[in-house]
Chain A
C-alpha cells in the first residue's frame, strides 16, 4: 500500500502523518503525540523495515507520550517502508498474561504497554521470522540445485565410463589394439598378432 492511500484510509481531519528521519531518534513521534488531542491518530513513517524497528525505543516513546499502537503496516516507499499507526490516549484497563507474573489485571498504562509490545514487537518478530524463512528457503533451493548438478554430473560420468568400458571390450578395439602394437613394436607385435586376433574373435561384437 502506498503511504498516501494508507493515510487516507486511517486518518481523519486533524490527524497527522510524521516522517521519522533517523531510525533511533523518535522525537518526531513524541512531538506529534504531545501536540495531539486524545483520540487523534498519527501515522509515523519509519526509515526501516518491520524486522529492523527499534522496538524498545518505540514502546518507550508510546508509553511516555500516551500513544497507543494500532498496527504496523509495510508501505511502498523506498526510504520509509514501514508505517506505524497510532492513536493518542489511554488504553482501557484489561487483563493479560505476563511471563514473569502470570495472569494480571492491567491499568491503562500497563494495558497500553502490553498492546504496544504485542503490536510493535509482534510485527518485528514476524518480520524476523519471514526473513529467516526466506533465507532458509534460499539455502534449501541452493542445496537442491547443487544436488541436481551433482546428480547430473554423476550420471554423465557413469554414462561415459560405461561407453568407454564397452569400447574397450569390443572386438574392433581389440583388433585395433593388436595392429597398433604391430606398428609400435613390429617384432613382438607380429609374434603376438595371431593370438590377439584369436582372442578378439571371442570378445563381444561391439558396436
Chain B
C-alpha cells in the first residue's frame, strides 16, 4: 500500500495556523475526534504525566527554565508557569502565539518559531514537546528540529518528546507521521542524551502516544 500524500513544512505551518484559528482552545491542539469534555480530560492527563516527569519547581529564587516546543495556544506553558517555572513557548502559528501572549502570565514568554529555527540566548533545564514531533512530516525537518531541541538542553537537563513508541516509522495521514523509538535514540544518542527510564505512555483511552524522556549527560 502506498503512503498517503503528506504536507510539506510551509503547508504544515499553514494547516496548523488555520486549525488554531478555527478550532476551539482544546481541540486545536488536542484530538479533533474527542469532544470538548474528553479533550479536557486528555489535557489534564498529559499535564499530569508531564509534571511527574519534570518534577516540582525547585525554589522561587531559582526558577527552572523550560521550553515548550510547539506550545500551540499555551495550555501546558501556562500550567508550567503557574507551577512556578519560567517558560518559553514557541510555535509556528502566529495565531496561536498571539493567543498565548494574550493569556500568558508574567513568567511566560512566547515567540513564533519552528522547532528547528529557535536559537535563544540561553539553554533550558527542561525542554518538552507535546504532540508536535509527529506532525513534522519531512524527515529532514524532523531531524533538524530534534537536533536543535537537544542542543538547547543544559547539562543535567531533561528533553521530553511525545510520540508513539513503535518499532517502525509510520505515516498515518497527511499531517501525522510517528517515528520509531529508536529513531529518537539515533538522533539524541550522539548528541550526549541518554534515556531516563522507560517510555511513559499517556494511558488515555488506549492512546499509543506517550513521552520519550532523555537526560543530557554529555
Chain A residues engaging chain B, CB cutoff 8 angstroms: 23-24, 51-57, 59-60, 63-64, 98-101, 107, 109-110, 113-114, 117, 121, 124-125, 127-128
For A124, the chain B residues whose CB sits under 8 A away are 121-122
Max chain B Cβ within 10 angstroms of own Cβ: one of A60, A109, A128: A60
Chain B residues engaging chain A, CB cutoff 8 angstroms: 58, 117, 119-123, 125, 148, 150-158, 191-192, 215, 217-218
> CA separation between A107 and B156, bound complex, in Å?
14
> CA separation between A191 and B151, bound complex, in Å?
97
- 15 of the cross-chain contacts (CB-CB < 8 Å) are A24-B117, A24-B119, A54-B119, A54-B121, A56-B120, A56-B123, A60-B151, A63-B192, A64-B191, A98-B156, A99-B156, A121-B122, A121-B123, A127-B121, A128-B121
Sorted from nearest, which 8 A-B pairs have the closest CB atoms?
Answer: A98-B156, A60-B151, A54-B119, A100-B156, A56-B152, A56-B151, A124-B121, A24-B119
B152 to chain A: closest residue by CB: A56
A99 to chain B, nearest CB (A): 5
Task: Assess A59 versus B151: contact at CB under 8 Å? Given A99-B156, A100-B215.
Answer: yes
Contact A60 B191 (CB under 8 A): yes
Max chain A Cβ within 10 angstroms of own Cβ: one of B121, B158, B192: B121
> CA separation between A203 and B171, bound complex, in Å?
98
Task: Assess A110 versus B218: contact at CB under 8 Å? Given A56-B151, A99-B156.
Answer: yes
